[in-house]
Amino acid sequence: MLHYAVVFLVIALIAALFGFGGIAAGAVEIAKILFFVFVIMAVVAFVISLGRKD
């Protein structure tokens, strides 16, 4: 999932470089959403792994 966030960020940077502001803004929003979903999933996995070490 983090890979897709980085891909959309690169797409946004390239689109902004060529002057496509709308596409760049959309790609940045998608990248932000994917990044936060990744962070939430990583925290949940970490908490679950701490609970299983009883």
Tell me the per-residue pLDDT of 1-36, one tens digit each, with 9 for 90 and over.
Answer: 789 989 989 999 999 999 998 999 999 999 999 999
pLDDT for 54 equals 59
Residue ranges covered by each domain of the chain: 2-51
pLDDT for 38 equals 94
pTM: 0.77
Output b/e per residue, 1-31; b: 16+ Cβ within 10 A: eeeebeebbebbeebeeeeeeeebeebbebb
Q: Fill in the DSSP letter of residue 20.
A: -
Tokens standing for 44?
A: 């949940």
